[in-house]
Homo-oligomer: A and B are copies of this chain.
Amino acid sequence: MKSIEVCLSPALFRYKSTSSDYTVVVIDVLRATTAFCAAFDSGVESIIPVSGLDELLEYKNKGFITAAERDGKKVDFVDFGNSPSVFLQSDLKGKKLAYSTTNGTQAIGLAKECGNIAIGSFSNLQAISKWLINKNLNIVILCSGWKNTFSLEDTLCAGALIESLELSGQFFRICDASTASLSLWQSSKNKLIESVQLASHYKRLSELGLHDDLNYCFQINSSKAVPIWDGNAFGDVSKL
C-alpha cells in the first residue's frame, strides 16, 4: 500500500511527512494545471515552468511560445494568458511553451525537489489517476492555492483525485488534509458548480468575464493529457 498526503497550500509543503519515493501532483484548477492539459491537447510538445517574467522573456527571445498571467490577467508581451479555452482553440503542434503563473509555477518549483512531478486538474482526472496507479509510488497532492492561502477548487480536485485513486485499493490517506479534501469533494460532487461558485478565485475570474474558462475548468475528464516532469520540462506521456 502507498500513502496519499495533501498539502493545502504551497506554504505547508515543507511540513509534509512523506519523504521517500513519491510523486507530487500539482493542482491549480483555476487555471494553470487545466491550461497545461489544454495546451498538450492542442499539440504542445513540452512546457517549461518559469518563475519570473525576465526569464520568460529570455525564452521568448529563444523562439519559445510563451504564456503568463498575474492576478488572473494575461501579461503584455506573451502569446497566451492562463486560459485553457484559448489554448484549445489554437494549433500548437510541436511547439515548445514557457509558462509563468501566479501560483501554479510556484508550486511546481517546490515540487522539483523530489523529481517526480505530475500535473492534475478536473480535466485530466481519470488520465492522471490511471498513470499514478500504474506508477505505484507514494503521492503528495500539492494544492497551488492563492498566494499561499487555501483554495476551495484545488482542494475539491484533490478530493476527487483521492476518491479515484482509492478505488484501486492501492492507497491509504496519511493526513487529516487528505480526509478533509475527500469529505469536501464527496459533499460537493453532485453540485460542483454551485459549490465552486463560493470560491474566491471563481468569483474573481467571473468578474473578469472568463465564463468559458470557468465552465471548462470544472468539466471532468475532458482531457487525456498526462503531463509529467522529465527533469527539464513537462511532456505529455499519454502520447508516448
Taking CB atoms, residues of chain B closer than 8 Å to A220 are none
Partner of A8, one of B8, B184, B187: B8
Residues of B contacting A9 with CB < 8 Å? 12, 15
In the complex, whether A223 has a CB less than 8 A from a CB of chain B is no
Q: Is A176 an interface residue (CB 8 A)?
A: yes
Interface locus among A84-92, A143-151, A205-213: A143-151
Distance, CA A150 to CA B149, complexed state (A) = 13
Is the CB–CB distance between B183 and A199 below 8 Å?
Answer: no
Chain A interface, DSSP helix/strand/loop, else mixed:
helix
Determine which residue in A146, A147, A152 has the highest number of CB atoms from chain B within 10 A of its CB, and name it.
A152
How many angstroms from the CA of A198 to the CA of B152 in the assembled complex?
21
Oligomeric state, in copies: 2
B8 lies within 8 A of A11 (CB): no
- Residues of B with C-beta under 8 A to A147: 15
Given contacts A15-B11, A188-B183, contact A176 B152 (CB under 8 A): yes
Determine the residue in chain B with the shortest Cβ distance to A17: B149
Proximity bits, A189-206, B CB within 8 Å = 1, else 0: 000000100111100000
A–B Cβ pairs within 8 angstroms, 25 of them: A8-B150, A9-B12, A9-B15, A11-B11, A11-B12, A12-B12, A12-B148, A15-B147, A16-B149, A17-B149, A149-B175, A149-B176, A150-B175, A150-B176, A150-B177, A150-B180, A152-B176, A155-B180, A176-B198, A176-B201, A179-B198, A180-B180, A180-B184, A183-B188, A183-B195
Q: Which residues of A contact B (CB under 8 A)?
A: 8-9, 11-12, 15-17, 146-152, 155, 175-177, 179-180, 183-184, 187-188, 195, 198-201
